[in-house]
Amino acid sequence: MFRNVAELVELAESKGKKIADIMIDQEVEVTGRSREEVFEQMDKNLTVMEQAVERGLAGVSSHSGLTGGDAVLMQKYIEKGSFLSGKPILDAVSKAVATNEVNAAMGTICATPTAGSAGVVPGTLFAVKETLNPTRKEMVEFLFTSGAFGFVVANNASISGAAGGCQAEVGSASGMAAAAIVELAGGTPSQAAEAMAITLKNMLGLVCDPVAGLVEVPCVKRNAMGAANAMVAADMALAGITSRIPCDEVIDAMFKIGQAMPTALKETAQGGLAATPTGRELEAKIFGISLGKSEE
| Measured distance CA(95)–CA(112) in Å, rounded | 14
C-alpha 192/C-alpha 19 separation (Å) is 9
Output the CA angle 102-50-53, nearest 5 degrees.
35
What does the DSSP 8-state code read for residue 133?
-
Is 1.10.4100 the CATH classification of the domain at 5-295? yes
Domain chopping of the chain, boundaries = 5-295
Q: Give the whole-angstrom CA distance, residue 64 versus residue 105.
A: 9
Give the pLDDT confidence of 131-168 residue by residue, as tens digits.
999 999 999 999 999 999 999 999 999 999 999 999 99
* Distance, CA of 28 to CA of 26 (rounded, Å): 5
Mind listing the pLDDT tens digit for each residue in 253-266?
A: 999 999 999 999 99
**Can you point out the beta strands (E) in the chain?**
none
Q: Rounded to whole angstroms, how far apart are CA atoms 225 and 234?
A: 14
pTM: 0.96
Residues 6 or more apart in contact with residue 285 via CB below 8 angstroms: none
> What value does the mean pLDDT take over residues 7-32?
98
